[in-house]
Structure 1
């Protein structure tokens, strides 16, 4: 289309950032889930971030599409997400954005397709990308008061309390990095990433549980409440390498689920887990979680 142009920015002015968030929300209402992840939306809201670029696709005067590329991992290829406004689809904008992101990445890119919609699968083929990662969203119902959930059994010598913002930040970041050293997104969180999440309306330290062996932090379960869905989330469960296999992860998961069911009176919970993490899938399926939807990641062939 002759009136299509794509601008690349490293920072978004406030009004532009809001226009991007509105576009993402409008597309999510049509598609059933946001095409840009929580991390990506935080990058839009919180200003310039090293290694993050924003691509704005305009058709005439309209903001018709948005893409984001994050090149912060020293090992992995840059990660991209992009979305086209529902009113501007079927005009080649998705392919144009994808090709612009590929060029910006040096043709070395990973791209998320949240929800795994057929159109996204088709576009990945057009862009020459191959499927290499499958992230599952699991859900389960929660009975009133947490009835039916297992009793949390902590390893001997371990105690649990809730997170104290500012006081526990550094220890949590260190344990999170160690527990998720294999994970390209979660394991690389920084103080700014944590601060961004603490500033979100959903943040509640009463639902952020820390496990200690003496004075040493050895695990955590951070829960989240989705008011728009009426569901709680097992946002992230992490166990220090020296405590893995002790049953601490199961106990922390049970503590968090009981909080969501009893303290927050929520009727259900969700979580995300990689499809190839057989051990975690088995634990969650025994608790009653089942697969609800898939997020797929594609990448250029190496």
Structure 2
């Protein structure tokens, strides 16, 4: 299938407030229709808050100037290469817009990476997105699972290890300690382990942030010492007014946003205990369900979550063209 000649892709380094609004509305609509939100948290944070991180925005508009196709290209990762995510209006699909956006994203990648590499995320693993990626020379490289469980079900017993206590994260005091343990816990993770203080502060500035749902574990004998692990929870939905789904009128859902344990504390059962602490907190907030994302290749984490009652719900795919 060849892109139709009337598909014109515009490039922008920074979006106007109206373009940001249209991009978010387009993503909301596609998410409602497809059952999977088309843009990641990273992209939505960049859209809403801007900042100095360079990105390339690719835009397709209709006859009256309304946005019907959008792609975000992040060229900043010099190790893994540029990445892209895109969304097309549900009523404008099968007209070459997606192919035109990916082709334009490949051109941006070629300008920013010597080998022209590009990682393309398909949220929801829709067959049409996979077919488009494969037809343009991409291969499946990474699988991210969304798992869910009911909070009506009892939270399995998972006591804290002896001598370990849990408290709420204190913004401004725990920032650097948390960054250290996060970097150690996710040393091999392509995104999470590289978080900076700015990455943390951007998320703490979001409307959904709640320090009371951000738990850190420490040795009772060393209350001011190094953290051992953490469980950062999040609430999505209309009552939380949060990120991608922030203004949607649906019941709120909890999330195991980030769960990490310092390698020095592995083998103590701290991961299960911290998960249980967060699930209990979300249950006490009156939520019905909880979700999380985990790499399919992280079999230890997948098994942990399965033991705690989580089941596979949806799949995101990262395609690569090398």
Normalising by structure 1, report the TM-score: 0.94
- Is residue 2:286 matched to residue 1:265? yes
1:62 and 1:230 map into 2 onto residues whose CA distance is 30
Q: Tell me, yes or no, if structure 1 residue 141 matches structure 2 residue 141.
A: no
User: 1:186 aligns to what?
Assistant: 192
Stretches of structure 2 that go unaligned for 5 or more consecutive residues are: 111-115, 238-249
The counterpart of 2:263, out of the listed 235, 241, 246, is 241
Residue of 119, 134, 155 corresponding to 1:125 = 134
1:202 to 178, 202, 208: 208
Q: Check the 8 A contact 2:22/2:66 in 1, yes or no.
A: no
Query: What is the SS of the residue equivalent to 1:40?
Result: helix
CA contact (8 A) 2:7 2:100 kept: no
Match of 2:243 in 1: none
Output aligned runs, 1:146-185, within 5 Å.
148-185=154-191
Which aligned pairs between 1:22-61 and structure 2 lie closer than 5 A?
A: 22-60=25-63, 61=65
1:70 is aligned to: 74
192-201 vs 290-299, which moves further: 192-201
Counterpart of 1:94 in structure 2 is 98
Q: Distance in 2 between matches of 1:73 and 1:207?
A: 31
Report the Cα offset of residue 243 of structure 1: 1.0
Partner Cα distance (2:51, 2:13) in 1: 6
Unaligned ranges ≥5, structure 1: none
Of Structure 1 and Structure 2, the greater strand share is in: 1
Displacement after TM superposition at 1:218 (Å): 1.4
After alignment, is 281-290 or 188-197 more displaced?
A: 188-197
The alpha-carbon deviation at position 2 of structure 1 amounts to: 4.7
Provide the rounded CA distance (Å) in 1 between the counterparts of 2:308 and 2:32. Answer: 30
Give CA-to-partner distance per residue, 1:131-168, whole Å, 9 cap, x none.
0111111111112xxx6322332222221100111221
Alignment of 1:277 with 2:298, yes or no, is: yes
Q: Work out which of the residue numbers 196, 217, 229 in structure 1 matches 2:227.
A: 217
How far is the alpha carbon of 1:3 from its aligned partner? 4.2
Go from structure 1 to structure 2 and tell me whether the alpha carbon gap of 1:174 and 1:52 turns closer, same or farther (over 3 Å shift): farther
Please give the root-mean-square deviation of Cα atoms over the aligned residues, in Å. 1.5
Q: Secondary structure at the match of 2:58?
A: strand
Q: Are 2:169 and 2:215, in contact at CA under 8 Å, matched by a contact in 1?
A: yes
Q: Residues 12 and 48 of structure 1 are in contact (CA less than 8 Å); yes or no, is this contact kept in structure 2?
A: no
Q: In the aligned structure 2, how far is the partner of 1:182 from the partner of 1:28?
A: 30
Give the whole-Å Cα distance in 2 for the aligned partners of 1:81 and 1:179.
Answer: 27
Checking the alignment, whether the CA contact within 8 Å between 1:231 and 1:267 is kept in structure 2 is yes
Distance 1:46 1:6 in 2: 24
> Aligned pair 1:7/2:10, yes or no?
yes
Using the TM superposition, give the Cα deviation of residue 183 of structure 1 relative to its aligned residue in structure 2, in angstroms: 0.9
The residue aligned with 1:231 is: 253
TM-score normalized with structure 2 length? 0.88
